[in-house]
Amino acid sequence: MRGQVYLRDEPNPWARRRGQAKTQQLCLTCVLGEKDAGEFLDSLGDTRQLPLGFELTRNGFLKFPPRVELVDITPQIIDLLSSEPEILWEASPEFFENLICNRLEVIGYGIERVGSSIFNKDGGIDILAWSQAPFVPCLMAVQVKHTALRNRKIGSPPVRDLLGAVQTHGFNAGLLVTNTTFTADARWVAEQRPFLIQLRDFEDLRRWLRNDFLSEHEWRYLPKQIELCPGVIIKLPY
């Protein structure tokens, strides 16, 4: 009501924009009591604004919010994601990119991230990956597409962009990974150049989290047979 003092609980603007959090207004006197509320407001000075980065407790004390950093993708995190892969929709793009790096390393690739931040320019490439198998040098460009919208499909433009980057910069192959899925157009573009572009979606990630890297799904874009010359057809065993 008029003249009442309120504490505004306002989450990150991006969270509000995506509808994941709501702004709340709490009566400061109701939360702290009239005496403590008065003392607290006096301590703020003339501005009476709560400094950013602090949190108000019920007793009227200020405390720093905890700082959480992802140090590494541990086996415990992989086990959790394997049993609850839906968490990937709630993860941050940074976490998701770290996860893809981890899975590529487990497969046997050496990896190098192109940028340390999602805001850095990367030329359409997030990760460089190279085969560490002897006698088979291979350099692969990896693009990671994370979205919090479960029903959003990745269309053909990112696939075409990655294909262009692979051909321009001399990579042997390109890999596009997402936590959702791809449109029919995107899959069609990749199927035209199966040796250059590979797509991996949410279902593929579920297999990766189970350490299933060499199932029949991973071979689905390769030909079942090759005609070496007229009349000489070799059926492949995979």
**3 state SS for the chain:** CCCCCEEEECCCHHHHHCCCCCCEEEEHHHHHCHHHHHHHHHHCCCCCCCCCCCEECCCCCEECCCCCCCCCCCHHHHHHHHHCHHHHHCCCHHHHHHHHHHHHHHHCEEEEECCCCCCCCCCCCCEEEEECCCCCCCEEEEEEECCCCCCCEECHHHHHHHHHHHHHHCCCEEEEEECCEECHHHHHHHHHCCCCEEEECHHHHHHHHCCCCCCHHHHCCCCCEEEEECCEEEECCC
41-45, 58-62, 213-217: lowest mean pLDDT where?
58-62
52-61, 69-78, 149-158, 221-230: lowest mean pLDDT where?
52-61
Provide the mean pLDDT of the chain. Answer: 77
Phi then psi for 73, rounded to 5 degrees?
-85, 100
At 15 the pLDDT is: 47
Number of CB atoms found within 10 A of residue 26's CB: 13
Q: How far is CA 45 from CA 50, 114, 132, in A?
A: 10, 46, 62
Q: What residue has token string 């199966």?
A: 194
- Class for domain 75-229, per CATH? alpha beta
At 238 the pLDDT is: 60
State the pTM of this model.
0.64
Average pLDDT of the segment spanning 226-232 = 82
Average pLDDT of the segment spanning 99-126 = 79
Domain boundaries, the chain: 6-63, 75-229
35-44, 67-76, 124-133: lowest mean pLDDT where?
67-76
At 200 the pLDDT is: 94
Q: Does 182 score more than 80 pLDDT?
A: yes
Q: Does 81 score more than 80 pLDDT?
A: yes
The model's pLDDT over 134-149, given as tens digits with 9 standing for 90+, comes to 777 889 999 999 998 8
59-73, 81-95, 174-188: lowest mean pLDDT where?
59-73
58-67, 87-96, 105-114, 120-129: lowest mean pLDDT where?
58-67
14-18, 45-49, 129-133, 229-233: lowest mean pLDDT where?
14-18
Residues near 162 by Cβ (< 8 Å), separated by ≥ 6?
124, 125, 141, 143, 174, 176, 197
Average pLDDT of the segment spanning 195-203 = 92
Average pLDDT of the segment spanning 17-39 = 61
Q: Does 192 score more than 60 pLDDT?
A: yes
Cα–Cα nearest to 138, from 165, 171, 114: 171
